[in-house]
Amino acid sequence: MKSYRLNRLFNAKSNRCFDVAMDHGFFNEYGFLSGIEDLGKAVQTVVTAAPDAVQLTVGQARHLQALPGKEKPALVLRTDVANVYGQDLPRTLFSRMIDAPVEQALRLDATCVVVNLFRIPGQPEVTDQCIQNILRIKPECDRYAMPLMIEPLVFPVGAAGRGTGSRHHQGRPHR
């Protein structure tokens, strides 16, 4: 059954997935919101460009899923929230999972779920939290045949807090 979701996620001709991440509001960094302040309009604009998938949070997913028609992009649901971006970092950094992430993804008709894997110099506890998130969600994904995308973000030395993590995906999500 997981292959059915992967078939909806990947382009049948190219066997690739162009996933547009629009989940930036989840990270409490106002600088990420430029151009997507009106999320409903931004989602409609992105959908007209015909990506294979759009990455959104639980609260944002309605903007994509309410669009009529079967030609809309697949939903990739963001399942974690973190405070590792921005100019001034808080004293304690975190990466936390939302409650019942796979069940919420199923209710929203998501094709895939995504979770971060941060590597931030001097912040091993955040990497550990990410690993714990992955270990928690992986069995749920297996149980419900939900593809899991792990988004690795490596911050260069001294770059944490400047929003310089690289956010792009290549290849298929973890099976």
What is the tens place of the pLDDT at every residue in 27-66? 555 565 666 678 889 899 999 999 999 999 999 999 999 9
- For 173, residues 6+ apart whose C-beta sits below 8 A from its C-beta are 6, 9, 112, 114, 147, 148, 149, 150
- pLDDT at residue 156 in the model: 78
Domain ranges of the chain: 2-154
Closest CA to 36 of 28, 26, 25: 25
Residues 96-150: tens digit of each pLDDT: 999 999 999 999 999 999 999 999 898 999 999 999 999 999 999 999 999 999 9
26-39 burial, b at 16+ Cβ within 10 Å, e below that, comes to bbeeeebeeebeeb
The dihedral through the CA atoms of 9, 100, 109, 116 has a sign that is negative
CA-angle at 28, arms to 27 and 33, nearest 5°: 90
- Give the pLDDT band of residue 160 (cuts 50, 70, 90): low
pTM: 0.84
Query: What CATH number has the domain spanning 2-154?
Result: 3.20.20.70
